[in-house]
Amino acid sequence: DAKTTQPTSMDCAEGRAANLPCNHSTISGNEYVYWYRQIHSQGPQYIIHGLKNNETNEMASLIITEDRKSSTLILPHATLRDTAVYYCIVRANRDDKIIFGKGTRLHILP
């Protein structure tokens, strides 16, 4: 079973920051938080991951709360091409299989 809880869907206006929440209240100390997204008719695509510090890359930022029980993925300037299902995943070991939950369907509105 997925160890994360995400809203089923969200809307965001184009050009605005999209903030996608994820709850992972049972996360263990050695588990990382990963985010993937899946654009329609494509395979999932890695976005970002982190352990306890906030992370940023060219695609997004990841904010993890101090108690690590929740996190937020931030797409700073959402575009129509960011419309996708976003998956939040906790994963103990880089070699572990990935268990995908149902994700959040993000709609970017023009």
Partner 1 sequence: DVKVTQSSRYLVKRTGEKVFLECVQDMDHENMFWYRQDPGLGLRLIYFSYDVKMKEKGDIPEGYSVSREKKERFSLILESASTNQTSMYLCASCTPWADTQYFGPGTRLTVL
Q: What does the DSSP 8-state code read for residue 5?
A: B
Closest distance to partner 1 from the beta carbon of 11 (Å): 20
Site map for partner 1, 5-34, x if CB under 8 A?
-----------------------------x
CA distance 39 to 18: 16
Question: What's the one-letter identity of residue 45?
Answer: Q
Site for partner 1 in 51-110 (CB under 8 A): 87, 94-95, 97-103
3 state DSSP class of 75: strand
For β-strands 84-91 and 104-109, DSSP reports them as antiparallel
The site for partner 1, by CB under 8 A, has a size of: 19
Contact residues toward partner 1 (CB under 8 A) are 2, 34, 41-46, 49, 87, 94-95, 97-103
